[in-house]
Structure 1
Amino acid sequence: MKFNPKLVLEFAVNLLLPWLAYRIALPHYGETGALYASAVPPLVWSAVEFARFRRVDALSAFVLLGIVLSIAVMALGGSPRMLLIRESLASGLIGVIFLGSLALPRPLTFYLARATLARQQADGPARFEMLWRETPVLRGAMRLMTLVWGAGLTLECLLRCGFAWYWPVERVLVVSPIVSYAIYGVMLAWTFWYQRRLRARRGEEGGAASEAPAAGSGEYRRQGSADM
């Protein structure tokens, strides 16, 4: 794991700046206006990335999806219980997309990993495509990480929705964040452990398995990413 200033900047733009924009705009424009304001940093970042490299940034796409879903849920009504589950609806949908991508020739984590390598190395995508074709261990690792993160995100959504529906609001406010961060923490810890295990098998497949970034750990919402 090594420090990557470019990756830190990417996460600052996509995670920290949307939150700051939201907090600054909230007192002046209300919740809906603040959500619109929070979409500006990832939109600008995506436009710059597309202008420079002709590709859409995966992290920005996830952040924008969460913002769009938040606005859509607000349009359904502002009841306390709907507000409590609003954030988890985004993670739930992304979890379902992860799981659904397992039916495709290449799961979602393949594209997230390739996008990460593209930011690190000019020849990263082409090399990763070659490793995907030639290395069964890499293909199995990508599918397993897709399954774990898809199941974890879906479980987090279902639990928080159940809490919001059946529990008193005050209890949900206390328990839900603890459960969410516990689930994310377990998935992050598993991802880093699994990557270390893959590195231990490096000799078996010529190092291919260790090329895969922590696909789930840094590509979604509020969690940091590591350049493995």
Structure 2
Amino acid sequence: MNKTKKEIIFTVVLNIVLPYLVYQLLIPYTSGITALSAAALIPLCDSLYTLIRTRRMDAFSGFIFLSIVLGIIAVAIGGDERFILLRESYITGVMGLLFLVSLLFSRPLIYYFAERFMGSESNMNDKWLSSMGVRRTMRLMTFVWGISLLFEACVKVMLVYAISIPTFLIISPIVTYGLIGLTIWWNVYYVKQIRKKSAIA
């Protein structure tokens, strides 16, 4: 296994798998806020370690940490049944907005995700600086993900107030996984097409 693949696996395990496992292990024995807070410590520690090691904040770990913090806030707010059902979608909507807002800055969120997942050998900074195509691709992917996440949140908000709660519980995961799956498929397809065009050129 090469270094890049090891870095990707390490990133996913540390920032997604371990927080999920910590939350699942603690939730039967403690409150939702406590379990989420403990889970948030893992990506936070990873961000702090990266900051100390490279003197630069790791956007991916920070993004995961922020999503967990938003989850803690949502749990703390409470609310009626329908609000509780929409907690994840409110977080998804905020994440979508962050993707879109990042387009106003010098480098969009997808750039930092690609940098983290492609590893230190990818030379993302050089590619970004030297290729207008890379910059255009990163910005388009950031825009699509932002719109997709916002759309998912809006659809679920409309559904939860339009149909019964039992029906919503059936339809909600279909909407979420369907839209996210479609966006992932588009992302993979788009990257493959870009690589084909580069190879031909």
Task: State the TM-score, normalized to the length of structure 2.
Answer: 0.88
Which range moves more in the overlay, 95-104 or 179-188? 95-104
2:171 is aligned to 175
Q: 1:156 aligns with which of 108, 129, 152?
A: 152
Q: Which amino acid aligns with 1:147?
A: F
Q: Which has the higher contact order (CA 8 A, sep 6+)?
A: 1
How far off its partner does 1:164 sit? 2.0
Q: Is the 8 A contact 2:100 2:146 kept in 1?
A: yes
Aligned to 2:120: 120
Alpha-carbon distance between aligned partners in 2 of 1:173 and 1:62, rounded to the nearest angstrom? 27
CA separation of 1:49 and 1:104: change in aligned 2, threshold 3 A: closer
Residue 3 (structure 2) pairs with residue 7 (structure 1) = no
User: In the TM superposition, what whole-angstrom CA distance separates every residue of 1:91-111 from its partner, at most 9, and x where no partner exists?
Assistant: 211111212222334322223
* Counterpart AA for 2:95: I
Match of 1:61 in 2: 62
Give the 3-state SS of the residue equivalent to 2:104 in structure 1: coil
Q: Secondary structure at the match of 1:28?
A: coil
Q: Please name the residue that 2:138 is paired with.
A: 142
Name the CA shift for 1:143/1:15 in 2 (closer, same or farther; >3 Å).
same
The separation in 1 between residues aligned to 2:42 and 2:198, in whole angstroms, is 39
1:44-55 alignment, distance < 5 Å: 44-55=45-56
Deviation at 1:46, TM superposition (A): 2.2
Instruction: Please tell me the residue identity of whatever aligns with 1:44.
Output: C
Q: Which moved more, 1:90-99 or 1:36-45?
A: 36-45
Matched letter for residue 84 of structure 1: L
- Give unpaired runs (5+ residues) of structure 2: none
Aligned residue in 1 for 2:183: 187
- 8 A contact 2:92–2:150 mirrored in 1: yes
Residues 192, 59 of structure 1: alpha-carbon distance in 2 compared, 3 angstrom cutoff: same
Q: CA deviation at 1:187?
A: 0.8
CA distance in 2, matches of 1:57, 1:17: 18
The Cα shift of 1:11 comes to 0.8
What do residues 39-73 of structure 1 show as CA deviations (whole Å, max 9, x unaligned)? Answer: 12222222332333333332321221111111212
Cα RMSD (Å):
2.1
Q: Is the 8 A contact 1:65 1:90 kept in 2?
A: no
Change (3 A) 1:195 1:17: same
Q: 1:109 to 1:6 in 2, by over 3 A?
A: closer
C-alpha displacement of 1:203:
4.6
Q: 1:5 to 1:116 in 2, by over 3 A?
A: closer
Question: d(CA) in 1 for partners of 2:95 and 2:134?
Answer: 22
